[in-house]
Structure 1
Amino acid sequence: MRRPRRPPPRRRLRPRRRPLRPRRPPRRRPRQHRPRRLLPRRPRQHRPRRLL
């Protein structure tokens, strides 16, 4: 007696994705403010623009 042929199980084409949930941007930790080393600032000399 022959067994009736069962069609092969259909393979899912696309893997099931988990339900979409609204994407929240990742929380960034605030950057620590690193104080710049204070340099002795020398006053900028005013250079007169040369007139053309």
Structure 2
Amino acid sequence: MILQALEYEMEHGKVLDEFFLSTAGKFQTEIGKSWAAEITSRRNAILADKKN
């Protein structure tokens, strides 16, 4: 779901901070945690680029 949220943000120019905050720390498996960390890292980079 967070990957879909990231894609939605990019396609529609929206910021879904509340959704990302609500899912932080919810992933239980190692693969889930790894994917969440990667998606969050990519999202943070995208948001930082938009600020510049």
TM over 0.5: no
State the TM-score, normalizing by the size of structure 2: 0.16
**Which of 1 and 2 has greater Rg?**
1
Identify, as 1 or 2, the structure richer in helix: 2
Higher relative contact order (CA 8 A, sep 6+): 2
